[in-house]
């Protein structure tokens, strides 16, 4: 999994896009997870079995699987301060009820809304927004 690199600071109301590309054998099932400040990671947006109750959908985010299915980019047309958090892209070739998510502490001290990506290894990476 490869995700947007580096830190990006955006102002409230700006559009935001987090890129996620992957190579996996079998049928891929991409997900986005988020870790809001002082909270554990949680499922944010999924491709397979997407529901309007997904946190990402309720917050105005969307994502689409590319053709061929090697990407799952996520975007939002108008960002909000409440979107700040650490975002994880993960891909599985089978869907199970339990998923391991890498944890990462968000960076502090930047104004506005920031996107910070860093490699977590394995089949998932993170971005701080």
DSSP string covering 56-121: HHHTT-EEEE-SSS-BEEEEESS--GGG-SEEEEEEESS--S-------PPP-S--SEEEEEEE--
CA end-to-end distance (rounded Å), the chain: 18
Residue 101 has a pLDDT of: 46
Give CA torsion, residues 117, 121, 123, 127, to 10 deg.
Answer: -10
Provide mean pLDDT across the span 57-72. 91
pLDDT tens digits for 8-60?
A: 678 999 999 999 999 988 888 999 999 999 999 999 998 877 777 788 999 99
Parse the chain into domains and list their residue ranges.
13-93
> Residue 129: is it exposed, middle or buried by C-beta count within 10 angstroms (0-12/13-18/19+)?
buried
Lowest mean pLDDT among 45-49, 53-57, 90-94, 101-105: 101-105
pLDDT at 72 over 90: yes
pLDDT band for 105, please (50, 70, 90 cuts).
Answer: very low
CATH of domain 13-93: 2.60.40.10
| Nearest residue to 19 via CA among 54, 83, 71 | 71
């Amino acid at each position: 999994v490869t995700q947007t690199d580096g830190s990006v600071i955006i102002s409230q109301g700006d559009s935001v896009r987090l890129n996620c590309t992957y190579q996996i054998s079998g049928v891929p099932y991409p997900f986005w997870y988020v870790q809001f400040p002082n909270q554990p990671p949680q499922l944010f947006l999924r491709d397979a079995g997407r529901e309007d109750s997904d946190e990402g959908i309720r917050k105005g985010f969307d994502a689409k699987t590319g053709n061929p299915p090697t990407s799952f980019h996520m975007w939002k047309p108008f960002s909000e301060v409440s979107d700040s958090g650490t975002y994880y892209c993960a891909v599985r070739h089978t869907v199970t009820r339990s998923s391991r998510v890498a944890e990462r502490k968000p960076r502090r001290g930047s104004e506005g809304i920031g996107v910070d990506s860093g490699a977590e290894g394995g089949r998932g990476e993170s971005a701080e927004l």
